[in-house]
Amino acid sequence: MKTFLTFMGVIGLVVCIGGSLGWSQDQVILGGVAPLSAPGAAESGAEMKIAMEMAVSEIGQILGKPIKLQVEDTRGLPEEGTAAMNRLADAGAAGVVGEFHSAVANAEIEVANQRKLPLIIAEAWADVITAKHYPYVFRIAPANSLFYTKVSDWVKAIGAQNVVAIVENTDWGLGIDTVFKETLHDQKNIDGDPVQYTSIVAERTVTDFTPQLLRYKSMSPRPDLVMDIFTGTGEYLIVKQTGELGLAPNRETLVFAVGTSALYPEYWETVGKYGVFSITKTGYHPLLGVTPAIKKFNAEFEAKTGKTPTFAAMEAYDSIHVLAQAIEQAGSTASDAIVAALEKIKYDGVLGTIYFSADKKPDYMYHQWPGAKAVIIQYTAEGQKYTDAELLWPAALMP
Amino acid sequence: MDFFVAQALNGLIIGLLYALIAIGLSLIFSVLKLVNFAHGECCMMGAFVSYYFSTLFGINPLIAVFLSMVVVFLLGVAMQYFFLRPLYTGAVERKDEYAILITFGLGIFFQNLAMSLFGPWTKKSQDFLSGVTSIGFLTVDNNRLVVSFVAIAIVLALLLIINKTFVGKALRAVSQDRDAAAIVGINSHRINMLAFGVGVALAGGAGALIGPIFLISPMMGILPGIKSFVIIVLGGMGSIKGAIIGSLLLGEIESLGSIYLLDPTRGLAYKNAFGVLLLAIVLLVKPTGLFGERHVRME
């Protein structure tokens, strides 16, 4: 009986190992990480996932093998991001793309570095993600410092003197706050007047911002600009409560919804009329140029979902293509070979020709795509699509 | 002074909302002697039910609030009958542990159910009354005013029922002594079901009321659930009066505390911690909470 059981055990083990090896040799696994449920920005995660699936279906095969896309829900929580990366490494993923929240990406890069798993961050902006100079980490999204210094230029150009902000206490929010403190506070605006920048840091779960908004409302002179440095529900609530209190948007004070959530139809469902004349940013706008690649992607995405994609979807789509091309160029799924290929890559994507910098100065530039763009736009009517919003900055692109 | 009054008014409105959720939890605890850890999720279910009543069927949002309370009441009755009744029939050995696990489990189930049914996206219920009211230096969103009056009306109606009706007397009797209540002919199983149903219906009503103000999503119940637990411990487990006073205290301390107590630039980062801090101080001085009784465990 004992011999029989041992024999059956050995047979079972051989079948399992053989099956598992055979499975992984017959396909290439690409990993995806995105917030697909709350408290993460689920609307962004959902469109990133769809874009990844579109890219995989277009590519079809890598190294002559079918692709298996495994997308993990990180829920906007660092611990979930760590667990997701470990699951993907255990599953034998050749590389991972995605992520939206900087705090989660910051946890994920640690796993990428420990487990030698190439990771292309699609849409998380905190400088620290590439500033750690981890060899396995690359980024397509702009770094905070790359873009928000330009927002500071715009604030100075409109002659603002009193800028206030409510900031979520995450790597992303605090990173932007730091950029504004360094490049805006006590700097001279276009009229030669000093700019005063005041910020309040809030926990991400806060839903009532009224006490702090009342404080801003009681300021004399009234603020010229309220920066809403939040994502998801918090971003909507700040715009809504700012409008309800009569603080902004109006002739005296504008509101700038910094997070990506302001680009979705849910923005209008939740903020309603208070979103008219609000300002936001986007990495894609028709005035940046509509290439055939963008046209094709937008048409397919809209046919599939009935929604206009945002740049988060475009970044996720390009990330999969970049990873797939790197594996093809490396001729293997060995992580060091993929990293070497990524360092030399030039891929013509939806958002432009993607390549990664090898510069280590400034810190965030290492393995960063320097060509990542973003523009400032303003809604002029309720329910307006972000692609129809007015372009405010950079002035050179304005029609 | 104007600024202080505006902050205090905001704290009062937030406190009234907390009261509606916390009273339900307190009522459940006083009668069933268990903490409903799915209370926040019942609040979320009420918000979604009201949202769909008003958006799909075009029902007036205020009527939708009351319909959502009815739906959540029925849900609560079912929860009590199928999952909590064994606690009172002698079928369960470790009652406290069972009650904690089953209510936690139901909470997680409702979160995931809502995620599947309604999607993860943030939604806003229809306004009760759009626009704002300005009186001198005060500007208040009309939804908040309507919600405050409705919350006061619901709390007063509940107090009236508990103190002046036969049902209220039966609830109080079971809460004080289950066996003695049974001797005088009160069916404690029915009272359990009623108390649980009414308790979660209050949470559902609160969820439906905050929908136009703080928006709704499948995870919206987590924080109100935690806060209502803090409030009933603060006010004294099982005390309705304690829950009301605890709620108003928490609303004020969150509103004023985040402006006056700490560095105001970091105040919102610690807002959720104020309740726990207040709770710790009260429990150090009065271990049973503000109006709590000493013996409150399940027999």
Does residue B132 form part of some domain?
yes
pLDDT above 70 as % of chain A: 92
At B274 the pLDDT is 84
Q: Chain B residue closest to A203 (CA)?
A: B269
Give the H/E segment covering residue A25: helix A2-26
The contacts of residue A115 (CB under 8 Å, 6+ apart) are A85, A86, A89
Residues in chain B with CB shorter than 8 Å from the CB of A272 are 124
pLDDT in tens, A97-135: 999 999 999 999 999 999 999 999 999 999 999 999 999
pLDDT value of residue B41: 97
The answer as to whether B242 is a domain residue is yes
B161 inside domain: yes
Q: Please list every residue in chain B whose beta carbon sits closer than 8 Å to the beta carbon of residue A231.
A: none
pLDDT, position A196: 95
Please name the member of A38, A207, A272 whose beta carbon is closest to the beta carbon of B214.
A207
CB contacts under 8 A, A 158-217 vs B, are: 166, 169, 198-203, 205-212, 214-215
Helix axes A42-59, A292-305, angle to 10 degrees: 110
Q: What is the CA radius of gyration of chain A?
A: 23
Q: Quote the percentage of chain B above a pLDDT of 90.
A: 68
Task: Work out how many domains chain B is built from and give that number.
Answer: 1
Contact flag A42-B259 (C-beta cutoff 8 Å): no
Q: How far is B165 from chain A (nearest CA, A)?
A: 37
For residue B98, what are the domain limits?
13-285
| Per-residue pLDDT, B250 | 93
From chain B, the residues in CB contact with A267 under 8 A are none
CB contact under 8 Å between B255 and A211, yes or no, is: yes
Whether the domain at A2-142+293-365 and the domain at A145-282+375-397 fall into the same CATH topology: yes
Quick one: pLDDT band at residue A5, thresholds 50, 70, 90? low
**Per-residue model confidence (pLDDT) at position B299:** 56
In this structure, is residue B6 part of a structural domain?
Answer: no
Instruction: State the DSSP H helix or E strand holding residue A145, giving kind and residue range, or none if neither.
Output: helix A144-157
CA distances from B275 to A199, A204, A218, B231 (A): 24, 17, 26, 8
We report the CATH number of the domain holding residue B239 as 1.10.3470
Helix axes A78-91, A102-114, angle to 10 degrees: 40
Q: How confident is the model over A156-164, as a mean pLDDT?
A: 95
Q: Is the pLDDT of residue A69 over 50?
A: yes
In a domain, B8, yes or no: no
State the DSSP string of B127-190. Answer: PSS-SEEEETTEEEEHHHHHHHHHHHHHHHHHHHHHHHSHHHHHHHHHHH-HHHHHHTT--HHH
Tell me the sheet residues that pair with A393: A376
Peptide bond into A394 cis (omega under 30): yes
Q: Which residue has the tokens 């509101």?
A: A255
Percent of chain B with pLDDT over 70: 97
* Contact (Cβ atoms closer than 8 angstroms) between residue A274 and residue A365: no
Tell me if A37 and B115 make a contact (CB, 8 A cut-off): yes
| Predicted confidence (pLDDT) per residue in A40-64, tens digit | 888 899 999 999 999 999 999 999 9
Q: Write the pLDDT tens digit of every residue in B242-283.
A: 999 999 999 999 888 888 876 777 778 888 888 888 889 988
Cβ atoms of A246 and B139 within 8 Å: the answer is yes
Highest mean pLDDT pick, A20-29, B7-16, B67-76, B223-232: B67-76
Amino acid at B14: I
Burial of A99 (0-12, 13-18, 19+ CB in 10 A): buried
* Least confident residue range of A31-45, A118-132, B163-177: A31-45
Interface test with A, best of B213, B268, B272, B276 (most A CBs within 10 A): B268
The residue to which tokens 């007397």 are assigned = B169
| Nearest CB neighbour to B120, from listed A36, A166, A200 | A36
pLDDT band at B4 (very low <50, low <70, confident <90, very high): confident
Q: Which H or E run contains A65?
A: strand A65-73
**Average pLDDT score over residue span A190-198:** 94
Number of alpha helices (DSSP H) and beta strands (DSSP E) in chain A = 13, 15
The residue whose two tokens read 């405010």 is A392
pLDDT at B2: 74
Residues of B with Cβ-Cβ distance to A244 under 8 angstroms: 132, 139, 141
* B293 part of a folded domain: no
pLDDT score for A16: 46
In a domain, B2, yes or no: no
The reply to whether A50 touches chain B by the CB within 8 Å rule is no
What residues does A138 pair with on adjacent strands?
A120
Tokens 């002559």 appear where?
A: A64
Q: What is the ipTM of this complex?
A: 0.86
Per-residue pLDDT band for A19 (boundaries 50, 70, 90) equals very low
Q: Chain A: residue nearest B11 by CA? A: A211
- Please judge whether B219 and A215 are an interchain contact, meaning their C-beta atoms are less than 8 angstroms apart: no
**If you average pLDDT over each of A12-16, A86-90, B122-126, which comes out highest?**
A86-90
| All structural domains of chain A with their residue ranges | 2-142+293-365, 145-282+375-397
A270 contacts in chain B (CB < 8 Å): 122-124, 215
Question: Could you read off the pLDDT of A318-363 as tens digits, one per residue?
Answer: 999 999 999 999 999 999 999 999 999 999 999 999 999 999 999 9
* B3 contacts in chain A (CB < 8 Å): 214-215, 218
* DSSP-derived secondary structure for A296-363: HHHHHHHHHHSS---HHHHHHHHHHHHHHHHHHHHTS--HHHHHHHHHH--EEETTEEE------SSG
Residue of A nearest to B55 (CA): A269
Give me the pLDDT at residue A257, please. 97
Burial class (CB in 10 A: 0-12, 13-18, 19+), A17: exposed
pLDDT of B174: 92
Q: Which of B230, B223, B229 is nearest to B207 (CA)?
A: B223
Which helix (DSSP H) or strand (DSSP E) does residue A32 occupy?
strand A28-34
CA distance B35 to chain A (A): 23
Question: pLDDT tens-digit profile of B207-244?
Answer: 999 999 999 999 899 999 999 999 999 999 889 999 99
Check residues A17 and A40 and name the one with the higher pLDDT: A40
- The mean pLDDT of chain B is 90
Bond prior to A223 in cis (omega within 30° of 0): no
Of the candidates A171, A160, A377, A397, the residue with the CA atom closest to the CA atom of residue A280? A377
Over range A159-180, report the average pLDDT.
94
- Closest C-alpha among A225, A147, A153, A158 to residue A183: A153
Measured distance CA(B160)–CA(A159) in Å, rounded: 59
Model pLDDT for residues A227-242, shown as the tens digit of each residue: 999 988 899 999 999 9
Give the whole-angstrom CA distance, residue A203 versus residue B138: 26
pLDDT number for residue B278: 87
pLDDT of B149 above 80: yes
pLDDT at position A20 over 50: no
Which residues in A lie closer than 8 A to residue B256 (C-beta atoms)?
Answer: 211
What pLDDT is recorded for position A21? 41
The predicted pLDDT at position B262 comes to 67
Say how far apart CA B77 and CA B200 lie, in whole Å.
9
User: In a 3-state reduction of DSSP, which class is residue A54?
Assistant: helix
Residue of chain A whose alpha carbon sits nearest to that of B212: A270
Q: How far apart are CA A223 and CA B95, in angstroms?
A: 57
And the tokens for B84? 């909590």
For A237, which of B3, B214, B264 is closest by C-beta distance? Answer: B214
Phi/psi for A257 (5° steps) reads -85, 105
Residues paired with residue A66 on neighbouring β-strands, in sequence order: A61
CA closest to B257 among chain A residues: A211
Choose the CATH number for A2-142+293-365 among 3.40.50.2300, 3.30.2310.20, 3.30.565.10, 3.40.50.300: 3.40.50.2300
For tokens 């041992």, name the residue: A6
Give the CA-trace dihedral at B276, B282, B285, B290, to 10 degrees: -150
C-alpha dist (Å) from residue A237 to A173, A205, B144? 16, 11, 14
Cβ–Cβ gap B268/A202 under 8 Å: yes
Q: Residue A18 pLDDT > 60, yes or no?
A: no
Contact B84, B192 (CB under 8 A): yes
In chain B, residues with a C-beta closer than 8 Å to the C-beta of A199 are: 265
Mean pLDDT of A155-172: 94
Contacts of A338 (CB under 8 A, 6+ apart): A94, A95, A118, A323, A326, A327, A330, A332
CB contact under 8 A, B266 and A200: yes
**CATH, range A145-282+375-397:** 3.40.50.2300
Which of A212, A244, A266 has its CB closest to that of B121?
A266
- On the 0-12 / 13-18 / 19+ scale of CB atoms within 10 A, B185 is exposed
For residue B238, the one-letter residue type is: G
In which residue are the tokens 């894609």 written? A284
